[in-house]
Amino acid sequence: MKSFIKEFREFITDGNIIDMAIAFIMGGALQVLLKALVDDIFMPIIGIFTGAVSFADIVWQVGPAQIKIGSFISAAITFVLTGLIIFIMVKAMNKARALTGKTDDDDDADDETELAVLQAIRDELAEQNKINTHAKSNQS
C-alpha cells in the first residue's frame, strides 16, 4: 500500500500532470469568458441587424418542434473563438520553444551519443575479456 501511495504522489507531483491540470482549469475559465463575450456582446450586436431582441430567442418553428438556431449559432461562435485562441497560444508556445533552440532532434542526438558510449564500453569489455582469456590459455 505504501508503494501505491508513493507512486500516486510521484504521479500527481509530476510537472506534466500539473501543467495539464492548470491548462484544463484555464481552458474552462476561457470557455466561460468566451461564452459571456459571445452571449453578452456579440449576440446583441448581431440581434440588432437581425431584428431580434435577443439572438438566443431566434427559433425556427417546424410543426410542434422548436429549432433554436440562435443558441446553436452562439455555441458555434464560441467554439470557433476557443479554437482560434488555442491556435494562437500553441503557435506562441512553438515559437518560444524554437527560440530556446531545444527541439526533439536534440533528444535524438543525446540518445545516439548515449548509444555510442555504451557501444564503446561493450567493445572495451569484450577486448579486455579476450586479453584475459588469451593470458589464461598461455598460462596453461
Mean pLDDT, rounded, of the chain: 79
pLDDT tens for 97-122 read 888 876 555 555 666 788 888 888 88
The label of the residue with cell 481552458 reads 27
Report the predicted TM-score, pTM, of the whole model to 2 decimal places: 0.53
Q: How far apart are CA 2 and CA 40, in angstroms?
A: 52
Nearest Cα residue to 73 out of 91, 52, 96 = 52
